Chains A and B, each alone.
Chain A
Amino acid sequence: MNHLYSRRGWSVLAACTFVAALLPLLHLALPAGHPLHVSGYAMGLVGKFMCYALAALALDLVWGYTGILSLGHGLFFALGAYAHGMYLMRAIGRDGSYGSVLPDFMVFLDWKGYPWYWAFTDHFWYCMLLVVLVPGLIAFVFGWFAFRSRIKGVYFSIITQALTYACMLLFFRNDTGFGGNNGFTDFKRILDFPITAPGTRTALYLATLALLVGALLLCRWIVRSKLGRVLQGVRDAESRLMFIGYDPLAFKLFVWTLSAVLCAIAGALYVPQVGIINPSEMSPANSIEMVVWVAIGGRGTLAGPIIGAFAVNGLKSWFTAAFPDLWLFALGLLFILVTLFMRKGILGTLPLLARLRPAARAGAKVEVKEEAA
């Protein structure tokens, strides 16, 4: 595993992971008045950002490394969240407002039993399987059709946008059986632990952290392997790759499906921490926002999307609290300025700035290599 990062890379990663893992400790161990105490809200926020970061990482794998811009990753995120949400809804049991075994929205629609696709969803591990399989299968089928007929570039982006838009309309319907407008909410427990208890929240947080770091290492391994080189070949010169004798279909399909699954896992981790999932997560705007996290952090780097997700969402949390009317202006300007002046994002631009300083010129070369790889 040592060849994945340089010694310096490993230490940065370890330091970041350590700081992130320290947060719940500060939350649980220290009393509320202590200056170093981390509130449950702050920890929840970081946990949410880590889910976004995982989704951004997944998107970067297809956009940054393979050159396929998806405007529909919000769909996979939401599907993962819904799959996990089905279990969480079943786990409410008879504690809903109507005291029925069925979720409130089904009682409200006067349904007598669960539809067939809700079968076995009271088993946690079955739902975890669904989290991976359903978005994976949808991505595989969709990707197979799209890549086989060599749809690429903006056409692919527009179709993915239409796909998530269509699914949003579908999920908005009450008859679809996923709670319509309101989606799933009011979760009570997960695996018999109360979902709002500090201990459960810490466990969810740590699980998110572990999966994020795991996914980062997996992506790093993929992009450094021969497979990763082929993917970048698809991005930079697809026809040349085909003339050499590679069939890009399998490579694209693999990375596309993997990305969808990672995104779905991010969604599955997101729903118990945020406590709600509804169809507006599938709106085209959400998917495009994900793209902006990647663009701002720096596409074609793996740390970039994570930094971007944290930066944009941190800014969003602050803005929507301080100047709620200005957030869309800020986000819009961010879109414009980043595409105009920071084509490579934060991580891509930092080394350029470093190179401007004559003293750092000697060290800059090494750094560029590291960050860009």
Chain B
Amino acid sequence: MKRMFSSLLATLALCLAGLANAAIDPALLQPLAGDDPDARVDAVTRIAATGRPDARTVLQALLDDELAATPDGQVLILRGDQALDPATGKTVPVPEGIDGIVVNNRLRGAAQAALSGLALLAPEPERRLAAAQALQGKVPDAAQAPLLRQALRRETDPDIRAILVQLVAGADLESSDPARRRAAVAALADSGTPALRPQLQAMLAKNPDGSHIEGDAALRGAAEATLRAIDRRSARNDIIANLFYGVSLGSVLLLAALGLAITFGLMGIINMAHGELLMIGAYTTYVVQSLFRHYLPGALDWYLVAALPAGFGVAFMVGVLLERSVIRWLYGRPLETLLATWGISLVLMQAVRTVFGAQNVEVANPAWMSGGVTVLGSLVLPYNRIAIIAFAVLVVAVVWLVLNRTRLGLFVRAVMQNRRMADCVGVPTGRIDMLTFGLGSGIAGLGGVALSQLGNVGPDLGQSYIVDSFMVVVLGGVGQLAGTVIGALGLGELNKFLEPVAGAVMAKICILAVIIIFIQRRPQGLFALKGRSVE
């Protein structure tokens, strides 16, 4: 009843404001100075519903604790030693005995919600779109209906209009007018979001004596149909979201594992320090970002362009250094390599901790990577994930080209298939080993640059990827680029589709169990090498 009353009043106030067109009615402002918390929240909603620029000023002042009241209930905005009377729009001297209006969290929340609603009337389309999208996620409120309607009347952009139509319908579900409710249910049938489910379900609920709360049978039927449509759509969206995030996780795993596919897959080196090469790539990104921030703040958005070659270069150098100093003495002794590289990983981790501190460092997405594209109404695909999928595709393509279309790739494959014969025909196997290991490490560095855009960058970054990376390579089959790609994507998809069913940790455990069982069946991986190169 109260809500009905308030929405009625709000409509009334809207008309009045339209007529008077001067300033905010003092009657609206007065409750703000009072003690009744409900009345204060109502007042905020009603002020917002006027949809006027002054309303914005008042609400913002409320949030900034600039609103004050005289003892007789006049509300003023304090600006230094001046005071603005929102009721007249004039500046007046600060009266005696003025007292700041106390804003509690509830009032603050109401004011913020009202302000975001007001942004629907902003002149810039981007801000209107953002405001409309923000409202989409919230439970609609009938009191907002007048404001939304006003926004819809003014709106010219078709995308924003579509969202607004939906928002108005959502708010109208609560309306006291049955005709309006019916129109709202019908309007929602082909665009409703899951956020509206509770309201639609409330329409179908029954009283304790078994009679329906909603008297209108046709309306109930329509609500049921709309519910079904919403469920169908959200199920479809879930599948698409899972597919997308699966591909995204797969591309991350791929970037993490691709370097390993070269060092482990092609050279047979168990490089436990691989994760730390990823970490080095990520920290290089951080350093490049800091350098840009310091010397080239104007080009900060493009620091990644410099971070990519830097990440590759640094990791390449570290890789070559490792190969020359430690790993080349251990060829043919895989278990010892494993131990030595684990030692290297400890040293690298501790070195990073000493230089950069044990805390995570902050790597920010460039502006063009933040945000996302909205598809199918409510599904947001973040730009940084899309960029990383594209980057993974690019890296795989380059690696394939290098391995299959260059002289270096030819030598790498020759040494892998028959080291002695390659040596005999003049391939400098020692140098090829060094370059191959460097290439694998450099790709890990590239992976690190990409990972820095998605998650935390800290000394432990590599540790969280090393087990996964080995799983990808083992699953895909050693020495097979295609296997690594399929393995990474398969693991990513499996993970994302198991997660909603089993929870994140159980999904991971299930996947490890699946891999362990899979390797029992096919010890050589998905794409086993056939013929002489086996063993």
Contacts and interface: CB of A to CB of B under 8 A. Distances in A.
Interface of A: 69, 71, 145-146, 148-151, 153-155, 157-159, 161-163, 165-166, 169-170, 172-173, 284-285, 288, 291-292, 295, 325, 328-329, 331-336, 338-340, 343
B513 A166 contact: yes
A339 B516 contact: no
Contacts of A155: 474, 519, 523
A292 B516 contact: no
B330 interface: yes
A169 B329 CA distance: 36
Contacts of B463: 285
Contact of B334 (A153, A162, A173, A288): A153
A288 B467 contact: no
Interface in B375-413: none
Interface stretch (B160-168, B484-492, B504-512): B504-512
B523 A339 contact: no
A290 B512 CA distance: 23
Interface residues of B, number: 41
Given A149-B523, A151-B523, A158-B470, A332 B335 contact: no
B207 interface: no
Contacts of A153: 334-335
B521 A158 contact: no
A335 B346 contact: yes
Contacts of B349: 328
Given A157-B338, A163-B512, A169-B505, A150 B343 contact: no
Interface of B: 270, 272, 326, 329-330, 334-340, 342-347, 349-351, 353-354, 463, 467, 470-471, 474, 505-506, 508-509, 512-513, 515-517, 519-521, 523
B342 A288 contact: yes
A284 B463 CA distance: 10
Contacts of B344: 332, 335-336
A151 B520 CA distance: 7
A340 to B, nearest CB: 6
B350 A332 contact: yes
A162 B512 contact: yes
Contacts of A334: 343
A169 to B, nearest CB: 5
Contacts of B329: 340
A44 to B, nearest CB: 26
27 contacts: A69-B335, A148-B520, A149-B523, A153-B335, A154-B335, A154-B338, A155-B519, A163-B512, A163-B516, A166-B509, A166-B513, A170-B505, A284-B467, A285-B463, A325-B350, A325-B353, A328-B346, A328-B347, A331-B343, A331-B346, A332-B346, A333-B347, A335-B339, A335-B344, A336-B340, A339-B339, A339-B340
Residue in B351, B513, B519 with the greatest tally of chain A CB atoms within 10 Å = B519
Contacts of B343: 331-336, 339
A145 to B, nearest CB: 5
A162 B471 contact: yes
Contact of B523 (A69, A150, A165): A150
Contact of A336 (B326, B354, B515, B516): B326
A220 B435 CA distance: 46
Contact of A325 (B326, B340, B345, B354): B354
B523 A169 contact: no
Nearest to B273: A332
